């Protein structure tokens, strides 16, 4: 082998990459004749918000989540002094409006949501006799916006284009992030203030909507008298709406609703397939024609729909903030992006930001569980975003954003690993960019890796209801068989028959109540219930106690066995990271000391300057 002696080696020159790139860009510009000023086309958009003086005559329109969420958001905003009105759930007519006035080649949720707004305004004009001018003056549409890599980043312009073409040029579509501050043209303060009261009102509405939905989907498939759960939900909605509108204590209102659900008679000894609905956020959340009323269809087919809550999406956003902060803190410079660190000032600023994100995660989880327990939603576990990110990273990078990001992959894996559902149904809207890559590409690798997974990807295009339903039915057949087999297995493993379990529940009704939740062991509720009550049927009190003590000892032993490894691992990691942490702390301290010193110098230097000014 040819070995180069150390002395004859030469060090490479330090290259200023930025300068080289700039020079290259300049040369290319000259070569292509692009040195002149670039003129950007800008559309003179309508006023993006409304002013304080307009507030009393403006009605904010809201829509886009489930019906319960939209309804509660309306009440919550009314409670803090806004005129607010929810729009109907988007239906096929909305899709037609969207297709008529929207751009070509959009994804399905764009057509539905944009079309729903146009449809509402057309109804005001054509049925209620309002002129477009009146509508533009009296209504605004409030929505969330984003600058993601998918079409969600273009919703805002899509709304404006469709509204202009439908004859409502100048109608205001207000994004949360465009509000606040001073309105440029008039110098007047914005009518929509994103302050603590606004955020708390919104959070209350979202949590109340989530919990009511979760309890409804958990109870309805097992109700003995058809319609009992829906009647309880209707009454609870009214109570919660009034509480939000009058700003009454929301926990007391949730508590007041609890007996309504307690009164629903259920039979959880029937084997029902649990279907976890995942996929694109809007398509899996809506309850209308946007996903062909998927949740109700599943229930009609004898399944239990396991829906994703909006709170899980909030937790994903919190996870994103943490991940992006960690990735950014080692960059050469700070950027001013959404999660950029440009505004993070002072030493330990990054650490404080991370602590804030951690606290936000805990706060959302804490608030959710408090609300859930007040209404009687017991044993509901919000997804662990860090675990989802970890299990999915090798298949779908955590850095790919748009749509649900890696969550769709992570949720499927979690469903299989933790027996969360018998079947996973992924709803992909027609024309959705992120969802198409996930369901078509990555998820097939996951199903290969975890054989036996029942995974059903379905596309929603608005006009393929029959195909959609028949595809779901096909997979559901397998899921039903899996649920029945699982119940039989649970009975066998615990040495009981389902008749014995039913007889036990008649004698001990507390286990059969609608709000009772058996601990999670299997995918189905019936199998979980068998596992919970079987020891009461087959064992004496002393044997159960012995079993419990043995279980406790086993788990303590496991923890003790794992602990040294965990401690060693943590110490190892800390030692490895120590030089880097020390260097960063040193750098932070130096910056801090320098900043203080320069302040002092400025103070000392100040008097002569003042003197000079006075002279
Ligand atoms: S995730 Fe897909 S369906 Fe949703 S807005 Fe983006 S492109 Fe459209």
pLDDT at 14: 75
State if residue 434 touches ligand 1 by the CB under 6 angstroms criterion. yes
> Is-contact 487 524, C-beta < 8 A?
yes
Q: Angle at the Cα of 70 (from 65 to 72), degrees rounded to 5?
A: 135
Would you say residue 102 lies in a domain?
yes
Distance 211 CA to ligand 1 centre (A): 25
Instruction: Please state the atom number of ligand 1 nearest to the C-alpha of residue 152.
Output: 5
Please report whether residue 54 resides in a domain: no
- Give the mean pLDDT of 135-145: 89
The span from the CA of 257 to the CA of 250, in Å, is: 11
Phi and psi for 440 in degrees, rounded to 5? -75, -40
Mean of pLDDT over the chain? 85
Q: pLDDT-derived band of residue 154, with 50, 70 and 90 as boundaries?
A: confident
Rounded CA gap, 351 and 160, in Å?
41
**Complete edge-to-edge strand list for the sheet that includes strand 423-429:** 304-306, 274-279, 423-429, 455-460
Give the pLDDT confidence score for residue 27 in this predicted structure. 92
**What pLDDT shows up at residue 569?**
61
Residue 147 domain boundaries: 87-181
- Overall number of domains in the chain: 1
pLDDT in tens, 322-380: 998 888 887 777 777 766 777 777 667 888 888 999 999 999 999 999 999 999 999 99
**Nearest atom, ligand 1, residue 155 CA:** 5
Which range among 41-50, 98-107, 371-380, 513-522 shows the weakest confidence by mean pLDDT?
Answer: 41-50
Query: Can you tell me which atom of ligand 1 is nearest the CA of 281?
Result: 4
Q: Is 194 helix (H, G, I), strand (E, B) or coil?
A: coil
Q: Which atom of ligand 1 is nearest to the CA of 404?
A: 1
Burial per residue of 247-259, b for 16 or more beta-carbon CB atoms within 10 angstroms, e otherwise: eeebeebbebbbe
Domain contains 357: no
Parallel, antiparallel, or unpaired for β 172-175 and 139-143?
parallel
Residue 53 maps to a domain: no
Residue 92 lies in a domain: yes
Tell how far the Cα of 327 is from the centroid of ligand 1, in angstroms: 25
The answer to whether position 257 is within a domain reads no
Residue nearest to atom 5 of ligand 1 (CA): 152
CB 263 within 8 A of CB 513: no
Model-level pTM greater than 0.75? yes
Residue 23 belongs to a domain: no
> What is the reported pLDDT for 151?
75
The tens digit of pLDDT for each residue in 33-57 reads 887 777 776 665 555 678 888 889 9
- Which pLDDT score is estimated for 464? 87
Cβ atoms < 10 Å from Cβ of 537: 15
Give me the pLDDT at residue 346, please.
63
Name which residue leads in pLDDT, 404 or 274: 274
**Residue 406: CA atoms inside 13 Å, Cβ hemisphere, count?**
22
User: C-alpha angle 362/364/368, rounded to 5°?
Assistant: 115
Do the beta carbons of residue 310 and residue 285 sit within 8 Å? yes
Angstrom CA distances, 437 to 150, 396, 405, stand at 12, 10, 10
- The predicted pLDDT at position 105 comes to 84
Q: Whose CA is nearest to atom 3 of ligand 1?
A: 432
Q: Which of 111, 426, 432 has most ligand 1 atoms within 8 Å of CB, for mutation?
A: 432
Residue 133 located in a structural domain: yes
Question: Following DSSP, what letter does each residue of 143-183 receive, concatenated?
Answer: E-----SSGGGGHHHHHHHHHHHTT-TT-EEEEGGG-SSB-
Burial of 33 (0-12, 13-18, 19+ CB in 10 A): exposed
- pLDDT at 307 > cutoff 70: yes
For residues 94 and 115, is the Cβ–Cβ distance under 8 A?
A: yes
Helix axes 498-507, 465-494, angle to 10 degrees: 80
Ligand 1 pocket residue status of 155, Cβ below 6 Å? no
For residue 436, the model assigns a pLDDT of 76
Residue 590, pLDDT score: 61
Whether 251 contacts 370, CB under 8 Å: yes
Say yes or no: CB of residue 423 within 6 Å of ligand 1. Answer: no
Run of H or E residues at 294 = helix 294-300
Tell me what pLDDT residue 608 has.
Answer: 39
CA dihedral for 248, 250, 251, 255, sign (positive or negative) = positive
């Amino acid at each position: 082998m040819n070995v180069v002696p150390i002395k004859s080696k030469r060090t490479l020159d330090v290259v200023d990459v930025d300068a080289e790139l700039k020079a290259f860009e300049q040369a290319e510009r000259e070569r292509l004749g692009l040195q002149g000023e670039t003129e950007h086309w800008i559309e003179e958009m309508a006023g993006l918000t409304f002013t304080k003086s307009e507030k009393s005559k403006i009605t904010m329109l809201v829509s886009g989540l489930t019906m319960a969420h939209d309804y509660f958001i309306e009440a919550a905003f009314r409670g803090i002094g806004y005129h607010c009105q929810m729009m109907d759930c988007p239906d096929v007519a909305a899709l037609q409006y969207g297709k008529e006035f929207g751009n070509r080649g959009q994804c399905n949720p764009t057509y539905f949501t944009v079309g729903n707004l146009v449809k509402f305004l057309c109804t005001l004009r054509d049925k209620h006799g309002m002129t477009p001018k009146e509508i533009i003056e009296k209504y605004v549409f409030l929505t969330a916006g984003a600058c993601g890599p998918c079409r969600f980043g273009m919703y805002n312009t899509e709304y404006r284009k469709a509204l202009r073409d439908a004859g409502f040029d100048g109608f205001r579509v207000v994004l949360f992030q465009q509000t606040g501050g001073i309105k440029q043209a008039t110098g007047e303060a914005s009518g929509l203030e994103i302050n603590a009261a606004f955020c708390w009102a919104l959070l209350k509405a979202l949590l109340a909507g989530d919990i009511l939905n979760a309890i409804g989907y958990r109870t309805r498939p097992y109700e003995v008298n058809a319609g009992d759960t829906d009647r309880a939900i209707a009454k609870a909605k009214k109570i919660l709406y009034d509480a939000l509108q009058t700003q009454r204590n929301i926990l007391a209102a949730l508590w007041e609703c609890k007996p309504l659900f307690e009164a629903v008679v259920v039979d959880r000894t029937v084997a029902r397939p649990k279907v976890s609905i995942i996929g694109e956020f809007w398509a899996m959340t809506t309850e209308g024609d946007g996903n062909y009323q998927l949740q109700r269809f599943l229930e009609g087919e004898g399944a239990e729909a396991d829906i994703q809550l909006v709170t899980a999406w909030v937790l994903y956003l919190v996870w994103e903030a943490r991940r992006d902060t960690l990735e950014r803190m080692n960059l050469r410079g700070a950027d001013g992006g959404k999660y950029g660190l440009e505004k993070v000032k002072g030493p330990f600023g990054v650490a404080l930001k991370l602590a804030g994100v951690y606290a936000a995660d805990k706060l959302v989880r804490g608030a959710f569980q408090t609300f859930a327990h007040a209404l009687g939603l017991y044993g509901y576990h919000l997804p662990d975003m860090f675990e989802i990110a970890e299990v999915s990273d090798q298949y779908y990078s955590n850095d790919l954003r748009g749509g649900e990001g890696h969550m769709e992959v992570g949720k499927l894996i979690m469903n299989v690993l933790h027996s969360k559902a018998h079947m996973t149904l992924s709803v992909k809207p027609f024309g959705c960019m992120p969802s198409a890559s996930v369901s078509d590409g990555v998820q097939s690798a996951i199903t290969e890796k975890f054989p036996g997974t029942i995974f059903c990807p379905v596309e929603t295009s608005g006009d393929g209801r029959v195909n959609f339903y028949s595809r779901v039915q096909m997979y559901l057949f397998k899921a039903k068989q899996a649920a029945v087999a699982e119940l039989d297995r649970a009975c066998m493993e615990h040495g009981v028959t389902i008749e014995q379990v039913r007889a036990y529940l008649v004698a001990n009704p507390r286990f059969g109540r609608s709000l009772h939740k058996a601990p999670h062991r299997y995918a189905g509720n019936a199998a979980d219930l068998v596992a919970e009550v079987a020891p009461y049927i087959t064992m004496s009190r002393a044997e159960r106690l012995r079993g419990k003590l043995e279980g406790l000892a086993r788990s303590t032993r496991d923890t003790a066995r794992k602990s040294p490894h965990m401690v060693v691992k943590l110490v190892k990691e800390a030692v490895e990271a120590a030089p880097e942490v020390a260097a960063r702390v040193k750098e932070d301290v130096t910056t801090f000391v320098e900043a203080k010193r320069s302040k002092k110098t400025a103070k000392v230097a100040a008097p002569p300057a003042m003197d000079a000014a006075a002279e």
